[in-house]
């Protein structure tokens, strides 16, 4: 698969880019389509998620990133990295003041910054500077001097609600818009908590997590979001979690293996949020029964979610929504499967042990525990598995962003396979199998020891 490590790294990188770009074009051509341009707004279609195309894109991006890191002046590279926090600030501002929705209504011709200023209530001179920052990073485009319009990347920030709906209920503006919600979180809780990270890492005894230092609270972020005044952030968090619904359903169905279960076997979605993952699994395995558990506010959101998406499942009792704190005794005993989707990464080893031990106490001899999580790996170059000279994780930064975000919120962490195995063993669960999915999550399948 890969060239010898003695090969010239620059030539290898250029070779990966040119062969994979040709492949990308031919895959689009095979589907009677062209590679989308950066200038046109994003049109969601099946090709955006095609696994073969995704693999090709991953290689191109990994090689291009590697090429930049190799040829760019280290001084310039470092200077650019220093500005990373302004990505969060600039993107957070535009989603907060509904720029993507305003530009969507303006269409291809875009809108002059003065009109944007009067529509948003934000000074045109600040807006123009934020646009220039983003456009330099290929987000939005300047059609003519001070006239801004959407492009492929900026259009992804658009919420699902219209401007009229947003005006009527501003606190609901991020509902059903997981990407805009995640961006907004990036400019609020994530950015704020990160300011306390260095202090926390140097002295972790001072608080539970950087979040607690930054927000001057001893509550967990989940408890803090229940306080009056934090309603918008709580709602944004719930909306952002729907990103997990973008994970290919196959990740979940291959983990649960519902065909091997008996009708009416019970699947418990622990810390399930609105239950969007359960919804995907339930569509694949409609003969099983499901319980979605979470804290009070999330179950309230879950009720809205199921009312809108599948009221019948609640009415017939096939899906039950249950308020349950996973630090307390698990009320459903002997379920076929207890699963936690991107929950354990929120917690330190100590807290994770409490959660998993509670599940072990409720489990029967045939119960399974499944964690849907990203699994981290060491970044040692290995040309047997990765084309030379690429990194084994293909320089995919998202996992490392999430890892540090978990640290800043809850002193949580993304873990390696070995770390998950050890954590399970300490709570009476044996890690039997890790099924890596077609998306970013893997299914870690445990059975009782």
Task: Give the residues lining the site for ligand SAM (CB under 6 A).
Answer: 222, 241, 244, 271-273, 276-277, 294-295, 298, 325-327, 341-343, 346
What distance lies between CA 321 and its chain's CA centroid? 24
| Contact call for residues 213 and 199 (beta carbons, < 8 A) | yes
Residue 183 Cβ, how far from ligand SAM at the closest point, in Å? 17
Q: Output the six-digit token pair for 368.
A: 């399974």
Q: Which is nearer to ligand SAM, 2 or 160 (CB)?
A: 160
CA–CA dist 235, 222 (Å, integer) = 11
Residue 430 dihedral angles phi and psi, to the nearest 5°:
-100, 125
Nearer to ligand SAM, 95 or 280 (CB): 280
CB of 410 to ligand SAM, least distance (A): 9
Q: How far is the CB of 284 from ligand SAM (least distance, A)?
A: 16
Answer whether 68's CB lies under 8 Å from 54's CB: no
Q: Which helix (H) or strand (E) holds 247?
A: none
What's the closest the beta carbon of residue 294 comes to ligand SAM, in angstroms?
5
Total length of the chain: 449
User: Looking at beta carbons only, is 17 or 234 nearer to ligand SAM?
Assistant: 234
Decide if 323 contacts 295 (C-beta within 8 A).
Answer: yes
Residue closer to ligand SAM (CB basis): 101 or 346: 346
Q: How far apart are CA 62 and CA 392, in angstroms?
A: 10
Q: How far is the CB of 180 from ligand SAM (least distance, A)?
A: 17
Residue 128 burial (CB count, 10 A): 18
Of the two residues 151 and 279, which places its CB atom closer to ligand SAM in the complex?
A: 279
Residue 286 DSSP class? T
Closest approach, Cβ 226 to ligand SAM, in A, equals 10
**In this complex, which beta carbon is closest to ligand SAM, that of residue 149 or of residue 270?**
270
| Contact of 251 with 277, CB cutoff 8 Å | no
């Amino acid at each position: 698969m890969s060239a010898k490590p003695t090969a010239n790294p620059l030539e290898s990188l250029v070779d990966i880019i040119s062969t994979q770009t040709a492949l990308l074009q031919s895959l689009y051509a095979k589907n009677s389509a062209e590679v989308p341009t950066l200038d046109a707004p994003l049109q969601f279609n099946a090709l955006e998620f095609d696994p073969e195309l995704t693999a090709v894109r991953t290689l191109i991006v990994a090689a291009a990133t590697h090429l930049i890191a190799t040829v760019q002046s280290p001084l310039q590279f470092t200077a650019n990295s220093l500005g990373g926090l302004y990505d969060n600030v600039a993107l957070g501002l535009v989603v907060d003041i509904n720029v993507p929705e305003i530009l969507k209504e303006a269409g291809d011709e875009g809108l002059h910054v003065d009109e944007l200023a009067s529509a948003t209530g934000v000074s045109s001179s600040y807006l123009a500077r934020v646009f220039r920052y983003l456009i330099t990073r290929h987000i939005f485009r300047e059609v003519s001097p001070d006239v801004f319009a959407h492009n492929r990347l900026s259009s992804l920030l658009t919420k699902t609600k219209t401007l009229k709906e947003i005006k009527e209920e501003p606190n609901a503006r991020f509902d059903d818009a997981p990407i805009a919600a995640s961006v907004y979180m990036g400019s609020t809780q994530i950015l704020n908590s990160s300011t306390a990270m260095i202090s926390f890492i140097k002295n972790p005894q001072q608080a539970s997590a950087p979040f607690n230092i930054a927000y001057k609270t001893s509550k967990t972020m989940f408890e803090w979001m229940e306080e009056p005044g934090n309603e918008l952030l709580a709602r944004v968090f719930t909306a952002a979690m729907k990103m997990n619904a973008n994970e290919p359903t196959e990740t979940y169905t291959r983990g649960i293996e519902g065909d091997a279960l008996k009708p009416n076997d019970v699947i418990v979605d622990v810390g399930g949020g609105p239950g969007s993952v359960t919804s995907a699994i339930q569509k694949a395995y409609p003969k099983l029964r499901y319980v979605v558990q979470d804290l009070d506010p999330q179950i309230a959101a879950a009720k809205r979610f199921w009312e809108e998406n599948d009221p019948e499942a609640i009415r017939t009792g096939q899906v039950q929504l249950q308020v349950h704190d996973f630090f307390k005794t698990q009320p459903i005993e002997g379920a076929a499967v207890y699963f936690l989707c991107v929950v354990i990464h929120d917690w330190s080893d100590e807290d994770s042990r409490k959660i998993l031990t509670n599940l072990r106490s409720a489990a029967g001899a045939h119960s399974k525990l499944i964690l849907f999580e990203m699994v981290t790996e060491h970044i040692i170059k290995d040309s047997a598995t990765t084309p030379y000279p690429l990194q084994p994780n293909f320089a995919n930064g998202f996992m490392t962003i999430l890892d540090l975000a978990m640290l800043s919120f809850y002193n949580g962490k993304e873990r390696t396979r070995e770390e998950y195995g050890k954590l399970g063993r300490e709570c009476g669960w044996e890690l039997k199998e890790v099924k890596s999915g077609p998306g970013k999550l893997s299914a870690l399948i445990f059975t009782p020891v």
